[in-house]
Structure 1
Amino acid sequence: MTRVCFQLQVDPDRIDEYRRRHAAVWPEMLRELEASGRRDYSLFLRPDGLLIGYYETDSVTRSDAHLAASRVAAVWEEHMADLFVGRSGRADQTATVLEEVFHLEDQLANIGESDPNEGER
C-alpha cells in the first residue's frame, strides 16, 4: 500500500465555489475514484487556497492510468479547472506530490528492531 499526499492551489477568490462543488461530488466521480483503487481519500483546504490531498492505493500507476482513461474524471477535472491557480492541464495529473518523511505506524513497527542510538537520548 502506498500513501500519496499532493498539493494544489485553489484561487483564493474561488474557495467558496470549490467548497460548494466538493460538498456533493458527482456520484459517478466518487465511484470512479473508488474503481481506480484509491482509498482513504481526503482533501484539506487552507483559507489562502492551499489544498492538500491524501489517499492510499495499492498502485499509484494503475490508479493514475484508470483516471487518465476515465471520461467521467476528464469531465470532472474540466468542471474544476477554473478554480485552480496556475494550472495548465488536468489538476489531477499536474499536482505536486509531497515526499513522506514520517509515518507513526511505520516507526512503531520498527521499535522492536535493535536501535543503535537507544539509551543515548
Structure 2
Amino acid sequence: MQNDTVLAFRMQLNKGNEAEYKKRHDEIWPELSELLKNAGIQEYYIFLDEVTLALFAFQKLSPNADTSGLSSLLIMKKWWDHMADLMEVNPDNSPKVVACPEVFRL
C-alpha cells in the first residue's frame, strides 16, 4: 500500500520557449529550491510533451508537507513573473494549472 502524497498537474508552454524554459529551471534560484524543500516537496519533476508543449508536473510530498502558503510568498511571485513570458498564466502570473487525478499506481 502506498502512503506517499503525490500531486500531478499540467501546464502549457508557449511555442518557441522550450529551450528557455529548461534553461531557467536548470538555473533555479537556490532560495526558491530551498523554500520548496522546506515546504515538504521531496521530489519535483516537470516533463515536456514536445508535440503539444504540455508540461506535466509531478510532486512527491513528505507526510508533514504544507505548501498552502507558497503562493503568497514574494519569492514565488517573483518566480512566476520571471516565467510568465514563457507559458500560459493567470492574471497574477501564476501558471495556469490543470490538476491530473491519479488513476493508477503500481
TM range (shorter): 0.7 to 0.9
Structure 1 residues not aligned, in runs of 5+: 105-121
**Cα distance change on mapping 1:40 and 1:12 into 2, 3 Å:** same
Residue 79 in structure 1 maps to residue 82 in structure 2: yes
Partner residue, 1:53 = 57
1:34 Cα offset (Å) = 0.5
The residue correspondences of 1:84-99 to structure 2 (distance < 5 A) are: 84-85=87-88, 87-88=89-90, 89=92, 90-91=94-95, 94-99=96-101
Match of 2:22 in 1: 19
Offset from partner CA, 1:10-59 (integer Å, 9 cap, x none): 00211111111111111111001111111111110121311000011236
CA distance in 2, matches of 1:97, 1:23: 24
Report which structure shows greater RCO (CA 8 Å, sep ≥6).
2
Q: In the alignment, which residue of structure 1 is the partner of 2:105?
A: 103
**Between structures 1 and 2, the one with greater helix share:** 1
TM-score relative to the length of structure 1: 0.74
The answer to whether the 8 Å contact 1:4/1:55 transfers is yes
State the identity as a percent.
27
The match for 2:72 is 69
TM-score by length of 2: 0.84
Tell me the amino acid that sits aligned with residue 97 of structure 1: A
How many Å apart are 1:82 and its aligned residue?
Answer: 1.1
Matched residue of 2:40: which SS? coil
Give how far 1:69 is off: 2.6
Secondary structure of the 1:55 match is strand
> Which segments of structure 1 move beyond 2 Å, counting only runs of 4 or more?
none
**Any unmatched runs of 5+ in structure 2?**
none
RMSD: 1.6
